[in-house]
Structure 1
Amino acid sequence: MKAPSPPDPVQTAVAQGGVNRDTAVSQQLLNMVSQQNPWGSVAYNQSGTTSYVDSLTGKTVTVPQFTQTTTLSPEQQAIFDKSQAAQTNLAGIAEAQSGRVADALSDPFQFTNQDAADWSYDLAQTRIAPQQQRNEAALRSRLVNSGIRPGTAAWNSEMERLTQANTDQNNMLALQGRSQAFSENLATRNQPLNELSALLSGSQVSNPAQMSSAAPQVGVGGVDYAGMVQDNYQAKLQRQNALMGGLFGLAGTGIRAATGGFG
């Protein structure tokens, strides 16, 4: 009896590939569920086919191609159109603003410490200088009432302490004024950049609102064609071996009977 021929691996692979394609197309078709809700609708339609060459057979395989079309409701479409128009306007403003920014940044940033210190000192002297003068008058009166006269060591010591306190106050004022002036100058220089950045971020192209709910997904179980072919071959081979074993057993029994091997 002739033994079963083993399956051709190339033919098995080709058949398995075809089954896999059928499964993929079936799953795609089942999952392309059209949607319709208050925001609009989504539809799927076959728009053509695409082809490729199978690596095993060298034959051209053609599979369908689909197009997803999203249609907004009239209300949502109106909102989308106005949003696009607003973004277009912002983009135009940003384009014009970018030229002014280039001009503003063409000059290096400059900041003079002494000018800032003088500005802050002059600004605050209208309040600090009269206060310092009142403090000095009060100190002089207190010293005189205490019996301390001008020119004495105690008088000079108290006046020197007051002078040092006034100097420290003026220096602190200059430092704080410099920091404030620097921040204001830097903010003024950066303002065109900040405005341009805000305009550009507002004119970015964005996708319209997605549909509110996703379509249910369906899974299609693949067919293990190669495994089925191999299982079928193994089953035939086992039957062949069992049959051959039975025939050999009968032949052995006949030989023993002919030679008197029984009893």
Structure 2
Amino acid sequence: MTDYAQPSVPVTGGSMPLLGFGTWQIEESDAPAAVAAALEAGYRHIDTATGYRNQRGVGKAIADSGLAREDLFVTTKLPPDNADRVRETIEESLDQLGLDHLDLWLIHWPPNGGASPEVWQQLVEAQQAGLTKAIGVSNYSLDQIDELIQATGATPAVNQIRWSPVEFDRTVADGLRDRGVVLEGYSPFKASNLQDPTLVEIAEAHDADAAQVIVAWHVAHQFVVIPKSSNPDRIRSNAAGATLELSADEIARIDGLAA
């Protein structure tokens, strides 16, 4: 088993690996093999969601891995349509995953497009009950996060948003950092041109590929990144990107792709 160094950021209850394994669009039947390949490749942070309908498969891979629970960081998410059954949803997730607690539970999207402090308060209560170590949000704006904080006094540990070099927005990144919220990026490759000359040139300088450079860019900025693949070779390759060290000039050049 490959054990890559695990760069991480502190969150409530422990530390969150900057490299995570995304499971969006991985079918329940395919999840055990894909997650097992990720764990074998050294990933220790697994991201799923109630809406992905693959939590049982993810849980099977975790159970079969033989890894200690404290060595894993597991995230799942509350669908906005379940805003009226918050406690039931996390209990169902824990049952399907075969766990007694989550490391991170997120509101997947703002319910009905609004911040919904009353739903957030129920996540706070789930955290207080020991069902999850940390709580956060996904696809929230800075203003919506401020609304949650002002209404409840509880700051989300994480905001998971679509993010990549071409979507880099310093105002958003700095705004989250100033609030003490970890930025977690999903779909890191989707908006990126992996043939972009800047990415290709930097990749060649490191004997790497453009996808690995994108992973390394996230890690250099202390952004959590959750690349997703079902291909074992690609899963391993993406993980290796987390060990790639970019220079300050290379990071700045990649930042410039959003200009």
TM-score of Structure 1 vs Structure 2, range by shorter chain: under 0.3
Larger relative contact order, structure 1 or 2 (CA cutoff 8 Å, min sep 6): 1
Greater percentage in strand: 2
TM-score, normalization by structure 1: 0.14
The TM-score normalised by the length of structure 2 is 0.14
Q: Report which of the two structures shows the higher radius of gyration computed on alpha carbons.
A: 1
